[in-house]
């Protein structure tokens, strides 16, 4: 089968069309350079970490061009139409709304994902989770809590022969992930299932990977303002950040899906609404499994010697290692990200 298509820049960006730079009086619109300088100053006052870069990306987005094309045309005038869109985007960023939600996309490894406020914005650190999974050369992978689909779709891109299954408890997140799969040409490569962790997920997998919520509940409100725009349920890991990690590890160790002990996580992770056959059914062509009877009958398993890989907070390595070891997993290893911080713990099921 031919390699799946990756998302590329729109044709007008690739071709370098100049429609966005239609004639405008400089005294009405100013130049792109002047607009950027003003935007950079505004974002700096708002406390944005990289004000010049964000200003350039927002202006390029408003003009419908790439950032390199923008840089080569800084003396061009800014039309009133483009200025209106740029001003609106700038106001959102100055209010500390994440750049990815404003532009509606985020790059992750070799792919570009659509994102909105139903999903966590993919982070560069999560690329390590993909790397760890790839070292196992798996024939099948289960990505738990897929969100935008970043991990599952990067694996589909980089492991063309692997069968990928992705789950999430949120139907809105699954809809985003499934749309990304189809845009990228992976619609027939990744199966999406609405599931609360492993409940109702069947099959045997060589690898189970998860980027679960792992931020301590008491620390979320002290994080940078951009975090307030992201779904709290995708961040809140309970008092020590590891509530859902414990549940998932117990489920995997048991070898089949059981109703997780919700009493442990009641303060931080409310019960999801009951799943039914209409969940996500608005887009059945996206390939989201919704049949309740079929899902309930399934029992997942990690193959003997199979790998479980979990993204973690940078101080959670020892605790997660203990959780895995106590559950019967073997050969636990903590992997560091490019900054030298603990980021992924991986261990193997007994043979």
Residue 202: band (very low, low, confident or very high) from pLDDT cuts 50, 70, 90 = confident
SS (H, E, C) the chain: CCCCCCCCCCHHHHHCCCHHHCCCCHHHHCEHHHHHHHHHHHHHHCCCCCHHHHHHHHHHHHHCCCHHHHHCCCCCECCHHHHHHHHHHHHHHHCCCCHHHHHCEEEECCEEEECCCCCCCCCHHHHHHHHHHHHCCCCEEEEECCCCCHHHHHHHHHCCCCEEEEEECCHHHHHHHHHHHHHHCCCCCEEEEECCCCCCCCEEEEEEEECCCCECHHHHHHCCHHHHHCCHHHCECCCCCCHHHHHHHHHHHHCCCCCCCHHHHCCCCCCCCCCCCCCCCCCHHHCEECCHHHHHCCCEEEEEEEEEEEECCCCCHHHHHHHHHHCCCEEEEEEECCCCCEEEEEEECCC
Whole-structure pTM value: 0.80
Mean pLDDT of 156-181: 97
- pLDDT mean across residues, the chain: 85
Mean pLDDT of 297-308: 81
Mean pLDDT of 251-274: 50
Report the C-alpha gap between 52 and 69 in whole angstroms: 16
Name the percent of the chain lying above pLDDT 90. Answer: 76
Q: Which residue has the higher pLDDT, 33 or 258?
A: 33
* Per-residue pLDDT at 332 exceeds 50: yes
Mean pLDDT of 183-200: 94
* Cα–chain center distance at 61: 21
Name the percent of the chain lying above pLDDT 70. Answer: 79
Q: What would the two tokens of residue 301 be?
A: 């398993």
The reported pLDDT for the residue numbered 15 is 38
* Per-residue pLDDT at 23 exceeds 60: no
Residue 286: band (very low, low, confident or very high) from pLDDT cuts 50, 70, 90 = low
Mean pLDDT of 34-46: 96
Q: Which residue has the higher pLDDT, 10 or 110?
A: 110
* Per-residue pLDDT at 251 exceeds 70: yes
Residue 13: band (very low, low, confident or very high) from pLDDT cuts 50, 70, 90 = very low
**What's the burial of 300, exposed, middle or buried (CB within 10 Å: 0-12/13-18/19+)?**
buried
The reported pLDDT for the residue numbered 289 is 54
Mean pLDDT of 93-122: 97
Contacts 24+ apart (CB under 8 A), 281-284: 282/175, 283/175, 283/178, 283/179
Domains in the chain and their CATH numbers?
11-95 (no CATH), 105-348 (3.40.50.150)
Residue 35: band (very low, low, confident or very high) from pLDDT cuts 50, 70, 90 = very high
The reported pLDDT for the residue numbered 298 is 55
Mean pLDDT of 244-264: 69
Asked if residues 305 and 200 have their Cβ atoms less than 8 Å apart, the reply is no
Minimum mean pLDDT range among 128-142, 268-282, 303-317:
268-282
């Amino acid at each position: 089968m031919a390699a799946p298509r990756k998302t590329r820049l729109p044709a007008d960006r690739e071709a370098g069309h100049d429609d966005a730079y239609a004639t405008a009086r400089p005294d009405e619109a100013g130049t792109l350079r002047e607009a950027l300088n003003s935007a950079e100053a505004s974002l700096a006052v708002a406390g944005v970490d990289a004000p010049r870069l964000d200003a350039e990306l927002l202006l390029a987005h408003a003009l419908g061009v790439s950032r390199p094309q923008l840089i080569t045309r800084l003396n061009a005038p800014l039309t009133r139409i483009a200025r209106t869109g740029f001003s609106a985007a700038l106001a959102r960023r100055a209010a500390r709304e994440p750049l990815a939600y404003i532009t509606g996309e985020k790059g992750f490894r070799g792919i570009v994902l659509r994102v909105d406020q139903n999903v966590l914005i993919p982070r560069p650190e999560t690329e390590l989770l993909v790397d760890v999974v790839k070292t196992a050369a798996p024939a099948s992978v289960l990505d738990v809590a897929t969100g935008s689909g970043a991990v599952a779709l990067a694996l589909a891109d980089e492991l063309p022969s692997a069968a990928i299954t992705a789950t999430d408890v949120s139907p809105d997140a699954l809809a985003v992930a499934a749309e990304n799969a189809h845009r990228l040409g992976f619609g027939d490569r990744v199966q999406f299932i609405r599931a609360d962790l492993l409940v109702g997920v069947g099959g045997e997998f060589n690898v189970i990977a998860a980027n679960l919520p792992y931020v301590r509940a008491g620390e979320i409100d002290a994080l940078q303002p951009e975090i307030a725009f992201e779904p709290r349920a995708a961040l809140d890991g309970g008092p020590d950040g590891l509530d859902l990690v414990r549940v998932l590890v117990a489920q995997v160790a048991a070898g089949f899906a059981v109703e997780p002990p919700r009493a442990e996580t009641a303060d931080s992770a409310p019960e999801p609404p009951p799943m039914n056959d209409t969940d996500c059914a608005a887009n059945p062509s996206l390939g989201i499994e919704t049949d309740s009877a079929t899902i309930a009958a399934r029992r997942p398993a990690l193959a003997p010697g199979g790998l479980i890989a979990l993204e973690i907070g940078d101080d959670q390595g020892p605790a997660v290692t203990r959780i895995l070891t106590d559950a019967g997993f073997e050969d636990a290893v903590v992997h560091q990200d490019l900054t030298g911080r603990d980021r992924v713990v991986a261990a193997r099921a007994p043979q």
